Structure 1
Amino acid sequence: MVSRKVANFDLSTYMAQRKAWVEEALDRSLQIGQPETIYESMRYSLLAGGKRLRPILCLATCELAAGTVEMAMPTACALEMIHTMSLVHDDLPAMDNDDYRRGQLTNHKVYGDDIAILAGDGLLAYAFEYIATQTQSVPAERLVRVIAQVARAVGAAGLVGGQVVDLESEGKLDISVDTLNFIHRHKTGALLEACVLSGATLAGASEADLRRLSVYAQNIGLAFQIVDDILDVTATQEALGKTAGKDVTAKKATYPGLWGLEASKQEAIALVEAAKEQLEPFDERAHPLAAIADFITTRSY
């Protein structure tokens, strides 16, 4: 997969630096309390690594809109807590029944189904507490708007709704592209969009800028899922850090299954180019977002 890359911008250095900031902030955000088991379970999955793409998107859009990393970091951490919750619950036997995530045993394999469910619940609740209590130097009306954006993204209008349709579609042979798009615009795309919009909202971005960033986010969200589907077919478990080929095993509808690998790759590239077009008014301020969009179609994990 090839896409026009952003000139003179070192994404690897940018991502590594911000990932280190996020990892440090996440470690500080959640300390062991009582009962120890639930906090250990929450930290086990929250600190298991990963790209930290979602919090980095939040930080990047806050900086693009003339905000600071400091004002966005609590929300960035909360978004990773919510993403982690979704992975913990997604891996459960009642959902995808997966044994590995981010290169280690899934939460329920270590702590049991009951504690894994409660760990996900705990992370979800704590995420909103963390935004509300730890965000500094942001007007209350912006903070309330961010909490609403994130809540909508994770609820029935977003991630939960997408997961429901995904479960209902398993094993069916007549899933349309429209249904598949619905699943992934909600299950994957809604939280990615919240990551992008929340950072910009915290910094006081204009409505016009938020609309552009929303379109950018929707396009990279769908591209991200298409590439995920491709990697499920082409990558190894070692590269992915999770079970490869599970979509085929579960008889899930996927983009390669509907279009084939090559057409899926081309669609992902087209979505990324459309996303980057939305960034043109921001000039060099948008270089991180444009480079992240390119990364989506070139990643191998």
Structure 2
Amino acid sequence: MVSPPHEAMHRIFQEYPGLFTGVSKALDLDFARPTSVTILPTDLTETRPVERRVDTLLRFDSEQDDPFLLAIESQGKKVADKPAAWAYYLSYLSTKYKLPVLLLVVCQDRATAEWAARPASLGPRQWPALTLRPLVAGPHNMPVITDPAEARADLALAALSAITHAKETVVDVILKALSTALRDEPQAVVDPIVEFIAQGIGGNSRAVEIWRSLMAVDLSFYKSWLSEEIRDEGRVQRGAEDILVVLQARGIDVPDDLRERITDCDDPDILRRWLTRAAVVPSAEEIFRDEEA
């Protein structure tokens, strides 16, 4: 079964085709920004009953470079037969479209990324007939975007940063930067970013809870299915936990007496007010400013 992180790692390029420009720069490659991008059919099935399907397929056109195809594959683990399948994809696409083809493999762990990046030769060792050289984006080479201003400058790349680093502890800071960057953006911009991240970090339950809590700070703004899900599950009952998770994500220490005060509170209005403050205050004590003992 296809997992949400798998879908997020390649579908984000369908939603934001220009993301490849940021990825290529991060990999020290010089691809011109496209003037147009076409999403192509991903079905590579032949007339014989063998189904072959690439995850995402895009055609890039620009004024500086010749047109080329970008095949994007999400890879969650090492699969011995995959390089041969990728070689088939590229050969088939080259034959069908008569255009140069580039393969981009997106991974969430370093071991898989390093495996995918190794050139794979097909043929005898004395004379390999074909060598596959995928371009790989993963936690080993994608930028760690922790500055809200940098995240705001390229929201799609920041989202991919969170997705590719989803299994690492640094994802907490990336998510915080993204939540801050999204605050002043239109809802039409926010919704797909929120959903891609929710899918892409789905394998890390702790990161999911942090993201949910960050989104819960201002649910009147975030209208995606994620915020609706939080509403349906009763965020008021989990208000104390959300406050503590947000503070943890921001690296703010919570003394035991303040932690107890938060967890003992059963007033949803007070918890809501504290949760909003938790996203911006410099210390845990500041959450309780102007509050009566």
Q: Same fold (TM over 0.5)?
A: no
TM-score scaled by length of structure 1: 0.31
Structure showing the higher strand proportion among its residues: 2
Higher relative contact order (CA 8 A, sep 6+): 1
Structure showing the higher helix proportion among its residues: 1
Higher radius of gyration, 1 or 2: 2
TM-score scaled by length of structure 2: 0.32
